[in-house]
A and B are shown apart, each in its own frame.
Chain A
Amino acid sequence: MNCLEFAEKLQLTPLCEKDGNIEIEGVYIGDLLSIVMAKAKKNYAWITIQTHINIVAVAELLELACIIVVENMEVDNDTLLKARELKIPIFKTSESAYQVACRMAELGVK
């Protein structure tokens, strides 16, 4: 299932949908960028509460499928501009990282 299909099923708010047709191959949850760099892999969805511009750099370098910002954290405008420029999909939700992860597991992403 791709990012956009997931976002629809999980009722995530799309903030940047460019290249949202990438298939999600895994999920990583984390807020410390160095640990995400070491652990998340290509085509993973990244669930985080971080919202500043550097999350886009991390997602681009790792070729992540998308970023899912949880707990209704406000995403910086600079982050969205960069995400649109680099075609990194970003979604937002008021749910917790755990809730989103559980829903994703139910939908078959392990």
Chain B
Amino acid sequence: MADSLLKRYTYDVMANDFMAAGKSSSAIKSNLKSLGIDSDILRRIAIISYEAELNIVIHSFGGKLHCDIYENKIVIISEDAGPGIEDVDLAMKEGYSTASDSVRELGFGAGMGLPNIKKYSDHLEINSSSTGTKIVATINL
């Protein structure tokens, strides 16, 4: 049963909470580390989950980050409550960002979030509408 879900970790991610940003990704990483996941895979998952978490913090009204563990893959899922990505193709382009100047001053909004997620995933699905965005990033083990 290679495709049965073994374990799901879920974290609430608050909009604009830069103090806590990265906390969920750290928790995911330490959970996976304790399972003995390879360090290169851990690094990719850390990058993907951090970018997905920061996308929720910077761009959404808040949401959840899930880490699903299967025997042969890890799936990072972010779900937020909107307002949605206006143009997903544009958002996938390196350097394109809709982040505000104040957020950029903190070093965010480089326009590398979704491109990084895509680069480090084996498979990526993005569904976005005004009621929310769902990102499903799969990393094969």
A-to-B contact residues, CB < 8 Å? 31-38, 41-42, 48, 50, 52-58, 60-62, 78
Kindly name the residue among B21, B22, B43, B119 whose own CB sees the greatest number of chain A CB atoms within 10 A: B22
- In the bound complex, residues from chain A placing their C-beta under 8 Å from that of B80 are none
In the complex, the chain A residue whose C-beta lies closest to that of B112 is A34
Known contacts A38-B47, A57-B50; A32/B18 CB under 8 A = no
Categorize the interface residue count of chain B.
20 to 34
A residues in contact with B54, CB < 8 Å: 33-34
Residues of B near A42 (CB, < 8 A) are 39, 43
- How many residue pairs link A and B with beta carbons under 8 A? The number is 69
14 contacting pairs across A/B (C-beta < 8 A): A32-B112, A33-B108, A35-B110, A37-B47, A37-B50, A37-B51, A42-B39, A50-B107, A52-B107, A56-B22, A57-B22, A57-B50, A58-B50, A61-B46
When the two chains form their complex, are residues A78 and B22 in contact, meaning their CB atoms are under 8 A apart? no
B residues at A contact (CB < 8 Å)? 18-19, 21-23, 25-26, 29, 39, 43, 46-47, 50-51, 54, 106-108, 110-113, 116, 119
